[in-house]
A = this chain, B = another copy of it.
Amino acid sequence: MCPHANGDSTPNDPSQMVPVDLTNGTGTHSSSVAANGANGHSNGVNGHTNGANKSQEQRRNPYAPRASDFLSNISNFKIIESTLREGEQFANAFFDTKTKIAIAKALDAFGVEYIELTSPAASEQSRADCEAICKLGLKTKILTHIRCHMDDARIAVETGVDGVDVVIGTSSFLREFSHGKDMAYITKTAIEVIEYVKSKGIEVRFSSEDSFRSDLVDLLSIYQTVDKIGVNRVGIADTVGCANPRQVYDLVRTLRGVVKCDIEIHLHNDTGMAIANAYTALEAGATHIDTSVLGIGERVGITPLGGLVACLYAADPEYVKSKYNLSMLREIENLVAEAVEVNVPFSNPITGYCAFTHKAGIHAKAILNNPSTYEILKPEDFGLTRYVSIGHRLTGWNAVKSRVEQLGLKLTDDEIKDATAKIKELADVRTQSMDDVDSLLRVYHSGIQSGELAVGQKEALDRLLRKHKERSIANANGRDSSSSRPASPVGA
């Protein structure tokens, strides 16, 4: 019923697929590409250029923002990586000291600008771990995230962090059902805490919680107040994951007109919009985005690091490549996935296991001509590989032709189309592995060479395939056999 139902192929097994290597100049794929007048991705400034018939022209990155916008920070942002704070609020997360340090070091090597840690007020071990990570001497700045309370602030500044992220709920919902404080009290406490942290010579951020359900005037008023007393950043938080992109744009843009300090945004992903909301926040002038690896956090979590990198890379690949060690992304995701015992989602941007697999015939054809046709991310920039899947009923003869050339076989286009029809017929019964496809192409090729086969001779092809199958079985059994057998993978 399913391609892998017999357990003979794991999801990561590319046995049905053609790996497409565009980086080395050898091999028949490259010649196929050259014949079509394109060289795939080159190393042009904007990430995608195409050669041959336009070799002297640097084509503009077609995914870059089209109009310039003085507010936009799409190419000027910082990541606050919160796997060790928000991520610890994921139901499965329990990070011991060793794991926390491994994650912190990996994120530092990847190049995030900030790492945010659980409040040292949360537990004795949380405090000790915070101190231990501050002593690692990482390039990334270390923050810790506390409630807007002097007790927490005092504990935080003593851990050696580079900055403190202060948060308090400002929505009527949270004021009524959570802490029960009014705006006057919130403002007074915020000023006290911020001035205290500043007096210790480290960064301080003030964030509201549930910002999108807070009264706009209350919100702007407190942000303006803390901006005037010199807070480094104000934070907007979509704590419940209710915001949509245009709301995010409006709120950030409005806030951008009210404060001079940096603007951070923290976005939950309950409706799956956290990546797009982060992108839109940057367009509106936000400067710092909160992420966690794989998005882990409360409920379904927040903006995932990998997803954010994907959309920003699409907009400005050179900027993102210059900031981050992209080929580490998969390793970091695997580290965290293992620590919290989840699988990397099959549909994850960049590292989802089919993110660079092309299947439908028309897609495969164009990808082979020029990867930019159906790809906005260059897999090689992430240390990954592109595949074109051909052993299925949606396959097309251009993808099969590429494989024929890789195998070093000589077939005309008509012959390849004829062989493709047979692959589609067999794949209608069950998905064909790469081995199955290769065998069929070799049998087809030798039939043509020997004169036993011509285009359109379906019965002759079936006979040759049957003979090949019997020979294979005999070889496998170490003896000659002509008895009838159940249908083989390539079988007629």
Binding site for B on A (CB under 8 A): 1-5, 11, 16-17, 36, 38, 62-63, 66, 88-94, 96, 98-99, 118, 122-126, 147, 169, 173-174, 176-179, 210, 213, 239-242, 244-247, 249, 269-273, 275-277, 279-280, 283, 294-296, 298-301, 304, 307, 310-311, 314-315, 339-343, 345-349, 352-360, 362-363, 365-366, 369-370, 372-377, 387, 389, 392-394, 424-425, 427-431
Contacts and interface: CB of A to CB of B under 8 A. Distances in A.
Main secondary structure of the interface of A (DSSP, over half): loop
B178 A348 contact: no
Contacts of A427: 94, 123
Nearest to A301: B347
25 contacts: A3-B94, A16-B91, A36-B177, A94-B392, A122-B393, A122-B424, A123-B393, A177-B373, A178-B362, A178-B369, A244-B279, A245-B276, A270-B375, A271-B314, A271-B376, A272-B275, A272-B276, A272-B307, A273-B279, A273-B311, A298-B358, A300-B349, A300-B354, A342-B346, A345-B346
A488 to B, nearest CB: 18
A126 B424 CA distance: 11
Contacts of A315: 244
B11 A373 contact: no
Nearest to A245: B245
A123 B177 contact: no
Contacts of A88: 394
A290 to B, nearest CB: 15
B346 A343 contact: yes
Given A372-B173, A376-B241, A122 B394 contact: yes
Contacts of A96: 1
A94 B242 contact: no
